[in-house]
Amino acid sequence: MHFTAKALLGVIVVAACSTAHAQLTWEKTQINLTPKPGDTEAVAQFKYENKTDKVINIKNVRSSCGCTVASLKKNDVAPGESGEVTATFKIGGRTGVQQKVVTVETDAPNEPVTNLVLQATIAQALEIQPSFVFWEKGEAVKPKKIVVKANKELGIKSIDVTPSTQDFTAKVEKGSAPGEFVISVLPRNTDGLLAATLTIKPDSGPVFYATGRVTGPAAAGR
């Protein structure tokens, strides 16, 4: 009886160990990317291998936001088989450090969920200072300037600026440094409240925006 109990315990332990290792082995669970200026997407390939003696089923892959698409070629991973989950991040107008998570669900009992992280550091194509210029009501109608500095890697040679209304005009001149532009913004008048979005379109790369506005009355004594 004592021997039978030990034998049964041994079978349980072996079965538990076999189940405990029934999971995918990932080469990396985080990939850091640095897209080039002007790139429209960043793609990370998360490689895995089934180092167990059991078939593992990938039930689902999903991303943390609509700007990232996750895909794989097959769901069932045989023993000894390798594969990859591809995560494609649509950059759009985003800049700076962007972190997107892809969640992988499998039928592994001990580790059914794995989070994969795509981190992209995106250089800003244009630096716009300031992005907002304003006049107070009754202020003298004089142009105010926005300085635009282009990322050198993009090789931008010109920009086009279009106000959203005829209440403002925008004139573009080249600045003193390569890749630098100066936008002179002028309201039609400052008699009342006005506002316009300035669409800044370089000859390559994404579109950017700035704002011009005539605000409330000037402070007393000005």
Give yes or no for a contact between 207 and 200, defined as CB atoms under 8 angstroms apart: yes
* Residue ranges of domains in the chain: 25-122, 126-217
Asked if domains 25-122 and 126-217 share a fold, the reply is yes
Q: Does domain 25-122 have CATH number 2.60.40.10?
A: yes
Classify residue 140 by burial, with Cβ atoms within 10 Å: 0-12, 13-18, 19+: exposed
Averaged pLDDT, 33-60: 93
| Secondary structure of residue 71 in the 3-state scheme | strand
* pLDDT for the residue 22: 60
Provide the H-helix boundaries in the chain: 2-20
Classify residue 192 by burial, with Cβ atoms within 10 Å: 0-12, 13-18, 19+: exposed
Confidence band, pLDDT 50/70/90 cuts, at residue 217: confident
* pLDDT for the residue 94: 85
Predicted TM-score of the model (pTM): 0.61
**Of 154 and 179, the one with more pLDDT:** 179
Q: Tens digits of per-residue pLDDT, 133-160?
A: 999 999 999 999 999 999 887 778 999 9
Residues 132, 168: Cα–Cα separation, whole Å: 13
* pLDDT for the residue 186: 98
CATH number given to 126-217 = 2.60.40.10
Averaged pLDDT, 18-29: 75
Angle of CA points 207, 212, 218, to nearest 5°:
165
The mean pLDDT of the chain is 88
Residues 123, 153: Cα–Cα separation, whole Å: 10
Averaged pLDDT, 79-108: 94
* pLDDT for the residue 36: 83
Give the residue among 155, 154, 159 at the shortest CA–CA distance from 170.
Answer: 159
